[in-house]
Amino acid sequence: MEAIISVLIGIGLSAASGFRVFIPLLGLSIASMTGTLELGSDFMWVGSLPALIAFSAATLFEIGAYYIPWVDNALDTIASPLAVISGILVSASVLTDMSPFLKWTLAIIAGGGIAGLVQHGTVAVRATSSVTTGGFGNFILATFEFFGASLTTLLAIIVPVICIICLIILAIIFIRKYKKRKAIINTTS
């Protein structure tokens, strides 16, 4: 049962990495330092004071940069691969008591994959927002992404089952809206 919970935590944190790269790492560092979450032995550095300071600074920079029109779009080109890497790292860090092969396979496929999917979705929404509002509506999106990353990180650490249920519901809503929008575009063409 503990292995399943750690997988759910890893998936939740990976999804949060798709919204913001550093918020899940900061949350993981805080959870480790407070004893809320146990990290794998290779990732104990995440719960150190230097890591906490670095993740805090990186989080503040990332959040601030997403509130500057067009800088947010440029940042997405850097954040996309970083989100996948972050998803892999946060997943691997919480997957304890399993073989390295299984741990890294799950971290790469589930962690990196989910972070990449969420990041791809946010990039698509931001691009649409940039085109339709000239980039000035992106601050609303940045706020939703900030709260999404923060809430997902918190839920993943405290109540991972609820986090996964919420992520599944959001995915279903997003897919339905995408299909509906695609159907409308196909009928007007």
- Tokens 């706020």, residue? 143
Give yes or no for residue 134 having a pLDDT over 90.
no
- Using 50, 70 and 90 to split pLDDT, how confident is the model at 189? low
For range 66-76, the mean pLDDT: 80
- Using 50, 70 and 90 to split pLDDT, how confident is the model at 94? very high
Q: Give the tens place of pLDDT for each residue, 155-181.
A: 999 999 999 999 999 989 988 887 887
Query: Which tokens is 76 given?
Result: 């997405």
For range 41-68, the mean pLDDT: 93
Give yes or no for residue 138 having a pLDDT over 90.
no
Q: Which amino acid is at 114?
A: I
| Domain ranges across the chain | 2-188
What's the chain's average pLDDT? 91
- CA distance linking residue 103 with residue 96, whole number of Å: 8
For range 22-29, the mean pLDDT: 97
Q: Which residue has the higher pLDDT, 90 or 129?
A: 90
For range 80-99, the mean pLDDT: 94
Rg (C-alpha) for the chain, rounded Å, is 17
Dihedral of the CA atoms 33, 31, 89, 13 (nearest 10)? -170
Give yes or no for residue 65 having a pLDDT over 80.
yes
